[in-house]
Structure 1
Amino acid sequence: MLKKRLIGAVVVKNNIAVQSFGYRKYLPLGKVEHLVENLDRWGADEILVSVIDRSSCDAGPDFDLVRSLAKLNLSTPLIYAGGIRGVDDAVEIIKSGADRVCVDSLLHEDVNVVSKISHAIGQQAVIGSLPVFYDGCSVRWTDYKSGTDIELNEEVMQSLSELVSEFLIIDWKNQGGRNRFDENIVRYLPEVACSCIVTGGLSEPQQIKQYIDMDRVSAIAVGNSLNYRENSVQTLKEITMNEQLRPAYYDECFRLNYE
């Protein structure tokens, strides 16, 4: 049974896909549908679409975007994040075509709402997004709305793990960088039963292999570097050579060397 996944991540701001650097600087990449269609065609195991400017203005989820992506008839499971305010939003996102939802600010604001979402669509369909950084002593969990952070200790992790199927652990300070993920985040992250998707500054094959081989890591989410060239997904899978990953596949005549 395959237990590990390589997730293609697409960041969306102002209705277009962007290259994001620490969620502070952005460069346009183009139409979201085009990037998602490429990731589906290239063999990503899941696709994460994060619309990062919905919660800050209480705009709610981008249902139109999800419906537009559903019309592509993707063969790859779709995860949606951005602007989810409650049960109705989460249910509608699933009805619109997403397979799972990812919640962030709700984990700070009202865990009871997250619990209700898990009951409504199934805990397996809910991912908890945790933007974090290592401060030299502990892993800190950032609340981007308030600009504050708290220690992500075992008690906090355990309580959250009862609400979601996986954690999306984001090294937000190094997000968008090449080979920049802070290994101390995984090293000092409290051990709980819930598995983790790790992302932020992950780009190089050997770096990705290091984390995909860890027992507690269920998936790697890669964003910017997968958009630079065709066959990036397949090449990463081939180099990492993890038997729990779905095998790479592509036409040999289009093989490209990963640099």
Structure 2
Amino acid sequence: MLRKRLIGTILVKDNVAVQSYGFRRYTPIGSPVICAEYLDAWGADEIALLDISASKSRSGPNLEMISKVAAKSRVPLMVGGGISTMKEVHDTVEAGADKIAMNTAFIRQPELLREASENYGAQCIIASLDAIRTSDGYSLYRDDEGRDIVTAAKLAEELGAGEILLNSVDQDGSLEGYALDLISKVNRAVNVPLIALGGAGAPLHFEEILNEPNVAAAAGNYFQHFEHSIAVLKHHLGTKGFPIRQKSGLEYMNVSHTLDGRLKRTPEQLLLTQMYEPLHQ
């Protein structure tokens, strides 16, 4: 049985890692390099580095940042943002990317996806699709043609995408769960693996999405809220029977979790907290 994947997402705006809320508000976190170092240490199966300002500024991929992040990532690194030519695809791979994610390029110049897939292999090329809810389903976000998300996903597969990163604009930053109807609809329509992104806020949300066949779970805000979040989540999913790679060197066999995925405090820890709380009042 294939193991389920958890993918840590680093969203970058103006060279700073940020948390995103509905594609409208952004809270700075800090260095993308440090984020990658922690995600790798906590046990992410893959890391996605997505630069949301590179395409808008037409500055191209930040190769220096990509190289530094790649140096901290011992797992496959997906990179997206600002890639609009085959030379930029090549330079991004040379900088350390294992996979290339195309979002704006897929909308504006879909043949680049086909050319990249033919040159580097489908396993290297990801179609990054942002979906927004409409009155009758989901459409591709910021697409002048107003294409239905299923139509866009089928085209991405036809052009040679080896995977589809499917992000829900409506769920982004909500911590209320993935858009299960969206993921299920697209998953039934294509044969390539999906990566679900947008809305994760508790272990239950990961259980729900990983029950979908051929789907990996990506998260940004959730994995950056507290330490060891990926390793703790992996232990939880393991107890639920999901085939998943555990983080070696970290032991959680005798602990329990809160509903949002944090470790529950022991009575001794609670006592220490009560002892020290007056000092901060």
Instruction: Note the 1:120-131 alignment, pairs <5 A.
Output: 120-131=119-130
Could you say which structure has the higher helix fraction? 2
Task: Indicate yes or no: 2:156 matched with 1:160.
Answer: yes
Q: Which of 227, 232, 247 is the equivalent residue of 1:230?
A: 227
| C-alpha contact 2:20 2:173 (8 A) present in aligned 1 | yes
Task: Indicate yes or no: 2:41 matched with 1:41.
Answer: yes
Segments ≥4 residues shifted beyond 4 Å:
253-256
| C-alpha contact 1:10 1:17 (8 A) present in aligned 2 | yes
| C-alpha contact 2:80 2:101 (8 A) present in aligned 1 | yes
**Helix, strand or coil: the match of 2:79?**
strand
Partner of 1:174: 171
Partner of 1:102: 101
Instruction: Note the 1:77-226 alignment, pairs <5 A.
Output: 77-143=76-142, 149-154=146-151, 156-162=152-158, 163-189=160-186, 190-217=188-215, 219-226=216-223
Shift of residue 77, structure 1, vs aligned partner: 1.1
Shift of residue 211, structure 1, vs aligned partner: 0.8
CA 1:92/1:256 → structure 2, altered by over 3 Å: closer, same or farther? farther
| C-alpha contact 2:140 2:148 (8 A) present in aligned 1 | yes
* d(CA) in 1 for partners of 2:10, 2:256: 22
| C-alpha contact 1:21 1:176 (8 A) present in aligned 2 | yes
| C-alpha contact 2:16 2:29 (8 A) present in aligned 1 | yes
Shift of residue 203, structure 1, vs aligned partner: 2.2
Shift of residue 255, structure 1, vs aligned partner: 6.7
Shift of residue 250, structure 1, vs aligned partner: 4.2
**Helix, strand or coil: the match of 2:146?**
strand
- One-letter code of the match for 1:133? I
- One-letter code of the match for 2:221? N
| Deviation per residue, 1:103-137 (Å, 9 max, x gap) | 01111112211111112221100110110023242
- One-letter code of the match for 1:60? G
Shift of residue 96, structure 1, vs aligned partner: 0.7
Pick the structure with greater CA Rg: 2
Structure 1 gaps of 5+ residues are: none
Partner of 1:76: 75
Structure-1-length-normalised TM-score = 0.90
Shift of residue 256, structure 1, vs aligned partner: 7.9
| C-alpha contact 2:237 2:244 (8 A) present in aligned 1 | no
**Helix, strand or coil: the match of 2:18?**
strand
**Helix, strand or coil: the match of 2:212?**
coil
* d(CA) in 2 for partners of 1:14, 1:22: 18
**Helix, strand or coil: the match of 1:49?**
strand
Partner of 1:20: 20
Shift of residue 150, structure 1, vs aligned partner: 2.0
Higher relative contact order structure (alpha carbons within 8 Å, sequence separation ≥ 6): 1
**Helix, strand or coil: the match of 1:173?**
coil
* d(CA) in 2 for partners of 1:120, 1:164: 12
| Deviation per residue, 1:76-100 (Å, 9 max, x gap) | 1111010000211111111111111
Give the % identical residues: 26
**Number of residue pairs matched?**
254
